[in-house]
Amino acid sequence: MSTPLLEVDDVTVAYGDLPALRGLSVRVAEGETLAVIGANGAGKSTLLKTIAGLLRPQRGDVRLDGTSLDGVPAHVRVARGIAMSPEGRRLFPSLTVEDNLRVGGHARRPGPWDLARVYDLFPLVSERRARPAANLSGGEQQAVAIGRALMANPRLLLLDEVSLGLAPVVVAQLYAALPRITEQGTTVLVVEQDVNQALAVASRVQCLLEGRTVLEAAAADVDHAQLAAAYFGVEAR
């Protein structure tokens, strides 16, 4: 088997004495879309922050293309091709939509995405380009956040809780854009609480519970009863 694009190898991350990831391993192959699902506090966001370089694992290693990212700061990881749309969007409220997108391209990585392509992907964002990001609706903010991450032309796109606080119809619209992202060859790691949405877009799912993997399967073969049991941490019979 060839080297996966991303390898999270036996990683432990703790906040103080409280472990959020307990020896977790995740592998994502180039071009694949992996959905990591799990209940609140399963460690999903911690996993993404660790990959992005905001948190440092106490144990284990994160590798991109087989190269360890240990000690590589977050801003350098962006230059190496890891971009993230963080939980809660985290747009820059005093900047216009367009400036938010430009900041996303700060690392100046070459690739298919630029302002025009992002506006083409999310036409609504294009209409709002001159507005301060603080004045957008939740769905619009999420679209800008995804577009902003794309501006970095990532090899690996991390999407954290795209559906959080949004109406289902808006979530569906956002996820409808995902195939146009993956067809550029971009590898995607989505973290979701909305299991159905995750199964619809991903090729593979991995379910976390209390910082460990409890289920791993191809999206097409997932047994829903088994998944529900894994999600809530009860024994499936």
Partner 1 sequence: MTWVNAVVQGILLGGLYALVAAGLSLMFGVMRIVNLAHGVLAIGAAYLALEVADRLGWHPFLSLLVVVPVMAAVGYVLQRGLLDRALRGGELAPLLVTFGLAIVLQNLLLEQFSADAQRLDVGSLGTASIRVTDGLSIGWFPLLSAVVGLLVVAGLGQFLARTRTGRAMRATSDDQEAARLMGIDNRRLYAIATAIALGTVAVAGVFLGSRTTFDPGAGATTLIFAFEAVVIGGLGSLWGTLAGGVVLGVAQTVGAAIDPAYGILAGHLVFLVVLAVRPRGLLPAAVAR
Q: Which stretch binds partner 1 (CB under 8 A): 60-68, 77-85, 123-131, 208-216?
A: 77-85
At its nearest, how many Å lie between partner 1 and the CB of residue 5?
Answer: 19
Contact call for residue 72 and partner 1 (CB under 8 A): no
> CA–CA separation, 155 vs 81, rounded Å?
5
Contact call for residue 84 and partner 1 (CB under 8 A): yes
Strands 59-64 and 204-209: unpaired
Contact call for residue 73 and partner 1 (CB under 8 A): yes
**DSSP H stretches of helix in the chain:** 44-52, 74-79, 97-104, 115-121, 123-127, 138-150, 168-176, 178-182, 195-201, 224-232
> CA–CA separation, 178 vs 102, rounded Å?
21
Number of Cβ atoms within 10 Å of the Cβ of 153: 22
At its nearest, how many Å lie between partner 1 and the CB of residue 156?
Answer: 13
Binding partner 1 (rule: CB under 8 A), the pick from 56, 68, 74, 167 is: 74
Q: Taking phi first (over 0 means left), then psi (-120 to 50 degrees means alpha), and beta for anything else, what does residue 8 get?
A: beta
User: Is the distance from CB of 29 to CB of 5 less than 8 angstroms?
Assistant: yes
Q: Which stretch binds partner 1 (CB under 8 A): 56-64, 72-80, 166-174, 179-187?
A: 72-80
Of 44 and 148, nearer to partner 1 (C-beta) is 148
> CA–CA separation, 107 vs 83, rounded Å?
10
Contact call for residue 78 and partner 1 (CB under 8 A): yes
The token duo for 208 is: 């976390």
Contact call for residue 75 and partner 1 (CB under 8 A): yes
Binding partner 1 (rule: CB under 8 A), the pick from 52, 159, 207, 222 is: 52
Q: Which of residues 142-181 bind partner 1 (CB under 8 A)?
A: 148, 152
Binding-site string for partner 1 from residue 87 to residue 126, where x marks contact by CB under 8 A and - marks none: ---xxxxxx---xx-xxx-xx-------------------
> Residues with Cβ < 8 Å from 168, sequence gap 6 or more?
none
Contact call for residue 79 and partner 1 (CB under 8 A): yes
Across-strand partners of 96?
132
Contact call for residue 134 and partner 1 (CB under 8 A): yes
Binding site for partner 1 (CB under 8 A): 52-54, 73-76, 78-79, 83-84, 86, 90-95, 99-100, 102-104, 106-107, 132, 134, 148, 152
